[in-house]
C-alpha cells in the first residue's frame, strides 16, 4: 500500500535543500548594520528585502546566524544583529527559513522573520492495472506556504516561491521505499497570490502536485 508518511518525510528532506540565492565564496565584511562587499553585487546575486540570510566562515558567531534583510544595494545588505568584523573570504546565502512549522508540530514564529508551514494532502487512489498484484496510483499534493514579514514588498515571497518551483520542477522524481514519486506535469507546480496573513506576515502558497505509483498487495 501507499506509505504517505515516508513520502512526506522524503519531500520534507528535499524541501530542506532549498537555495534561493548566494554570494558564493567572496570577500565580505560585517558592520554594525549588516554586511558589505567591495566587488560584485548583492543585487546581481539575487538578494532582495525580506529574505532570511545566514553567513558562513565569519569569526564572530553572531554574524553567521539567520537575519532578515531590511535593505539591499549593490555593495550592502542591511540587517540587524551584526557585529563589526573585518573583510575575509566568506559566503552569505538565502536558504529555507530556519523556522519551519512541520505538519502538526507547532512553532512560535519570530516577528520580522520569514517562516514556512508544511501541508501534505494524500489525495485519491486508484488501481490502474487489472488482476492481482497490479499497480496502485495516488495523486498527493505537497503544499508548503512561505510567510514573509509584512510591509517589505513582494520580492522575498516571489523569490522563495520561484526557488520552490525550481526545486520541485515538473517530472522531478524521488525514490521512496518501493514507491515511485514524480512531480506532476499537468498540472505542474504553481504559486498562488501573495495574501495578508496574521498580523505581521504575508503568505504565498505553493502547490506541488505529485503522482505516486507502487505495487498492489492484492
pLDDT of residue 199: 87
Residues 181 and 198 in one domain: yes
Q: Which residues of the chain have pLDDT under 70?
A: 130-133, 217-218
pLDDT of residue 135: 81
Whether residue 213 contacts residue 135, with contact meaning beta carbons closer than 8 Å, is answered with yes
pLDDT of residue 32: 96
Residues 147 and 207 in one domain: yes
pLDDT of residue 37: 97
pLDDT of residue 136: 86
pLDDT of residue 1: 76
Residues 77 and 122 in one domain: no
Domain encompassing residue 84? 20-95
pTM for this one? 0.93
Q: DSSP E strands: which ranges in 166-200?
A: 173-176, 179-183, 190-191, 195-196
pLDDT of residue 106: 85
Contacts 24+ apart (CB under 8 A), 129-134: 129/216, 132/216, 132/218, 133/215, 133/216, 133/217, 133/218, 134/215, 134/216
Q: Count of domains in the chain?
A: 2
Amino acid at each position: 500500500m501507499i506509505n504517505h508518511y515516508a513520502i512526506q518525510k522524503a519531500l520534507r528532506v528535499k524541501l530542506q535543500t532549498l537555495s534561493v540565492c548566494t554570494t558564493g565564496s567572496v570577500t565580505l565584511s560585517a558592520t554594525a548594520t549588516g554586511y558589505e562587499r567591495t566587488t560584485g553585487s548583492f543585487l546581481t546575486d539575487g538578494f532582495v528585502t525580506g529574505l532570511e540570510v545566514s553567513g558562513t566562515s565569519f569569526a564572530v558567531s553572531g554574524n553567521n546566524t539567520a537575519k532578515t534583510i531590511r535593505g539591499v544595494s549593490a555593495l550592502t545588505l542591511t540587517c540587524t544583529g551584526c557585529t563589526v568584523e573585518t573583510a575575509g573570504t566568506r559566503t552569505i546565502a538565502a536558504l529555507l527559513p530556519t523556522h519551519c512549522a512541520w505538519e502538526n508540530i507547532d512553532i512560535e514564529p519570530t516577528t520580522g522573520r520569514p517562516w514556512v508551514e508544511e501541508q501534505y494532502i494524500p489525495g485519491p487512489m486508484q488501481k490502474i492495472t487489472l488482476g492481482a498484484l497490479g499497480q496502485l496510483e495516488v495523486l498527493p499534493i505537497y503544499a508548503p506556504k512561505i510567510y514573509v514579514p509584512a510591509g517589505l514588498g513582494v520580492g522575498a515571497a516571489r523569490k522563495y516561491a520561484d526557488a520552490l518551483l525550481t526545486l520541485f520542477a515538473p517530472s522531478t522524481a524521488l525514490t521512496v521505499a518501493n514507491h515511485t514519486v514524480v512531480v506532476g506535469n499537468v498540472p505542474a507546480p504553481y504559486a498562488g497570490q501573495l495574501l495578508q496573513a496574521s498580523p505581521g506576515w504575508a503568505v504565498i502558497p505553493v502547490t506541488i502536485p505529485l503522482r505516486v505509483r507502487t505495487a498492489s498487495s492484492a
